[in-house]
Structures are given as structure tokens and as C-alpha cells.
Homo-oligomer: A and B are copies of this chain.
Amino acid sequence: MFRSVVARDLMLAWRRRSDVFATLFFFVIVVSLFPLGIGPETQLLRSIAPGVVWVAALLASMLSLGRMFANDEQDGTLEQLLLTPQPLYLVVLGKTLAQWLVSEVPLILVAPLLGMQFNLPSETLIVLVVTLLIGTPVLSLVGSIGAGLTLGLRGANVLIALLILPLYIPVLIFGAGAVDASISGGEIAANIYLLAALLVVSLVFAPWATAAALRISMEYFLTSDI
């Protein structure tokens, strides 16, 4: 049934392909905005590139997270998912996995191109991809908690941002840190290990937290929207 949850969300995503591309291009555009705001000096740009790419990744994943449960809630399918004969933990994990596959993986694939825009050396690009591979699942997992909590509150998107961006900060620091290090010749491995640690932790705890959050918000709905 875990599989059918994933399948369901992948199918829905396929029906909304345009979403996926939109998230992708949002990522690309945000990254490209910064030079326009900051100016074309190659040197300066290269030094901020890791931060910019990572921040853009954060924002992009945050945007797509807003839709993670909200859609299901509005049409009442979320109640059904809650009432399926399987641990909510699995449902959440399934939806999170689907979200990662659909919204984050594409970002990882284009990230190197964006890196080139900032003239990052190729080994740095590799580090960038690796950190994203380890970091983005953390974003999805942690983000799902926020998505669950803010479910049904108005302006959920912005609220989610508010709730989960702080939780993203460690990911940002280690992720961007590693890439930075590979430019300035600092300690790469340490950062990556820390990212991995974050991944393990969130993989274990986040789905539980999200499941709890969902239960709470649903109770809230009962009183809030019949």
C-alpha cells in the first residue's frame, strides 16, 4: 500500500507535469536573479555561488512543499488517506518520497548547469551535486512537518516558509559550507558527514512528527471546516 501511495502521487504529479517544470524553472530563475541584483563581477559571483544555489534550492523545495498535503485536504482525499488501513507513518513517508522524486531530483539535475553560470570549477560542481543529493531529502522530510502543521491555515505557503526555513538552516550551512570548502580548499568531508547525519535523523523522526502534525490539524479541521 506504501507503493500505491507513491504511485498515486506520482500519477497526480504526472497529470500536473507543468508543476514540476515550473518548480525547476523557478529554481533556475531565482539563481539567475542574483547576478542581476548584485552585478556581473565574476569573482564576486563565484564566491557567493554556493550560497545562492543552496538558498534557491531551499526556496524551490519550500514552494512545492506547500502543495504536499493542501491539495489532498481541500478535496477531502486526505481524510481517506488518514482512514486507510496502514500506519500513517507509511502514508507520510510515501508522499514525502514522491514529493522528493518529483520536485527535488530535477533541481539536482540542473544544478551543475547553474554552477557553470557562476564559473564554478568542475570538482566543485560534483560536490554541489553530492550535497544536494544528501541535503534535499532532508528538506522534503523536515518540510513535510511544516506542511502538516500549517495544513488548512490560510496562506499556508507563507506560513510553512516561516515554520520550516529555520529548520532548514543547518542543511544550508553544511551544504553551502561543503561547496564553499571545495572552492576555498577547506574541509569538505566533515560538512558532508554532518549532512548525512541530518538525513538519518530526519529520516527516522520526521515522518512520525508529520503524522502527528497531520492528526492534530485534522482534529482542527473538524472544528474548522466541515
Interface residues of A (CB under 8 A from B): 15-16, 18-19, 21-23, 25-26, 29-30, 33-34, 36-39, 44, 47-48, 50-52, 54-55, 58-59, 63-64, 66-67, 71, 74, 153-155, 157-159, 161-162, 165-166, 169, 172-173, 176, 180
Contacts and interface: CB of A to CB of B under 8 A. Distances in A.
Given A33-B172, A34-B55, A37-B176, 11 more contacts: A18-B154, A22-B158, A22-B162, A26-B162, A26-B165, A33-B55, A33-B58, A36-B176, A37-B173, A38-B50, A38-B176
A172 B44 contact: no
9 contacts: A29-B162, A30-B165, A33-B165, A37-B50, A37-B173, A44-B48, A59-B59, A67-B157, A71-B154
A47 B47 CA distance: 12
Given A30-B165, A48-B48, A55-B37, A19 B172 contact: no
Nearest to A52: B37
A38 B47 contact: yes
Number of identical monomers bound together in the oligomeric complex: 2
Nearest to A25: B162
Contacts of A29: 161-162, 165-166
A173 to B, nearest CB: 6
A187 to B, nearest CB: 14
Contacts of A54: 37
A75 to B, nearest CB: 11
A136 to B, nearest CB: 15
Looking at A30, A37, A39, A47, the one whose CB has the most chain B CB atoms below 10 A away is A37
Given A18-B153, A26-B161, A180 B39 contact: yes
Given A59-B59, A158-B26, A38 B48 contact: yes
A19 B159 contact: yes
Contact of A18 (B37, B39, B159): B159
